Structures are given as C-alpha cells and as structure tokens.
Amino acid sequence: MANIKLRSAAMTAVLVLSLLSGCGTGGTSAETGSADTASSQVASAEEMAAPEEVVEEGMEPIPGDQVKNGVYDIIVDSSSRMFHITKCELTVKDGSMTAVMTMGGTGYLYVFMGTGEQAVQADESEYIGFEQTGSGEHTFTVPVEALDKGISCAAFSRNKKKWYDRTLLFRADSLPTDALSEEIRTTPESLQLQDGTYTVEVTLTGGSGRATVSSPAELVVADGTVTARLVWSSPNYDYMKVDGVQYNPVNTEGNATFDIPVTVFDYKMPVSADTTAMSTPHEIEYFLYFDSSTIKAK
C-alpha cells in the first residue's frame, strides 16, 4: 500500500510540475505564463457534457456543527456522470467534516476544492491527489464545507490534462436521522405528544414523482412511539422499509396502506417501497416530510 501511495504521489508531483511550468501560480505575466495559457488548462463548456443540477429546491446548507460526531456512509450527488462516486465515508469531529470519496473509475489524478480557473492559479499544495485501494479503486479525501450545499470541485483529467468543473452535493438525508442535531429536525420525543390519535400533513418526494400519499395522515401515539398510517395512491406496493426494517401492508384491498414508525418531523425521512407495477418488482427510494406544525388531535 505504501509503494502504491508513493507512486501515486510521484506521478502527481510530475504532472503538477508539468502543469505549472507554463503558467506558474499567478499565470498573468510573461515570466510566469499568460492568463490565456492558464485558461487553456480548464475544459470549456463545449468540452463537457451539460451539468446536472444537484441542489434541490428547499435545501438549506447544514454545517458540521449541526451534525453529531461520528463516521457515516453518505450519498454524494455529482453534476457530472463522468465524475461518479460509488461510495463515500463522512467523518465528523467537533464541527469539522471530511469525506473519503471512492471513485467509479481512475480517470482523474487529483481534485481541487474550487473551480478549474481557481485551480490553475492555486499553489500545488492545494491539489488533492488520489490514493489507491488494495482492489485498485481511487479515493480522494476532501474537506466538506456543508451538507445539502452545492460545492465546487475541479477534477484534473489523466488523459485530457485539463481541469473539469464539477459540483458535489453531500446529502444530509442519506445519514441516519439521529446524526443531525435537533436544531434542524424535530424528534418525536421533543414533541411530547400524549398517547392518542392525531392527524398530520405529509408529503412524498422521490421516485418518478407520480406516486403520492394521502394527506393528512393518521398518527397514533402510544408509549412514546409515533406510528403513521400511510395510504398510497396505488395498490401496487407490497412492502415498505424504514431504517432497514420491512413493513407489510395492513390491507388486502384498495390502495396499499402501511403502518410505519415516524422517526423525524420537519425533515425528509428516507423510506423505500417495493412496487409491483412493473414487469419485475422494484424497490424505490422515497422521502416523507411530516409537518409537526399541522398535528391535530383527532
């Protein structure tokens, strides 16, 4: 492993020196290279596929001080399919966040947390080189400014010898709900609801966007546990999962209905549901948003 990392570092150093030899760190004078030369080392819009929007409407940045210390698997959305992250591990400590991104290929030699134009002007010490795992995968360890925020990340192509602009989004909704501070979510315990039956407004997002759930939904509170009766707009769901636990329908006729635990209010709660509407069953990821301000005794 040490030899692999040394070879990676040596390769990176050679390429960085080659990259900087024509532009320096300033890239504006005859002595250090021209601005035009620096710009030529950044891929143009015509050289890149159209970027995908990764920040969703309603998202608010979540800084590290609102995430509990720990190590979490997290989903990272990329604005480019060419910069594919197969898995990512987020480490949070005392308000600071770093992520180890495992790439779907080996086409990038290093990344820079910023734009390509900023990368060619930056000192080489700010470039983040890859590390190679025992199975040959490339990983980059990067700082994470905030979750649910579009973060600029330039990636240097091994073949093209150019910087490519990407936007990354580290998704807070892929973390366990108890990883987030109660400043940005509402726990069932914090509501201190008395045992009984209530209603609450709920919205569903995710999937193809065609499925919906009935709102308001019925809530049952018993011994501190909050259970929602969720009625889908289709009969074609044979189970749901919440935090990896499977729940089966409570009805045999009509639209699929499930009793599931509510783990968080005022924040997107990740769930999955298996649809039988296609030729073969498919488990689809969804999010439920239970608005605690709409809770009413039934």
CB distance 235 to 255 below 8 Å: yes
What Å distances lie between residue 147 and 63, 85, 143, 184, CA to CA? 6, 16, 11, 12
Q: What are the DSSP E strand ranges found in 35-135? A: 70-73, 76-78, 85-93, 96-103, 108-112, 128-129, 131-132
pLDDT 10s digits, 4-55: 443 444 444 444 444 444 433 333 333 334 455 566 899 999 998 889 999 9
Query: Mean of the pLDDT values across residues 124-142?
Result: 97
pTM: 0.71
Measured between alpha carbons, how far is 73 from 65 in angstroms, rounded to an integer? 18
pLDDT 10s digits, 94-111: 999 999 999 999 999 999
The pLDDT value given to residue 249: 97
CB distance 262 to 170 below 8 Å: no
Q: Which of 21-25, 77-81, 195-199 has the lowest mean pLDDT?
A: 21-25
The pLDDT value given to residue 209: 84
Query: Mean of the pLDDT values across residues 186-198?
Result: 92
Measured between alpha carbons, how far is 184 from 200 in angstroms, rounded to an integer? 19
In sequence order, which ranges of 27-175 are alpha helices (DSSP H)? 35-39, 116-121
CB distance 74 to 89 below 8 Å: yes
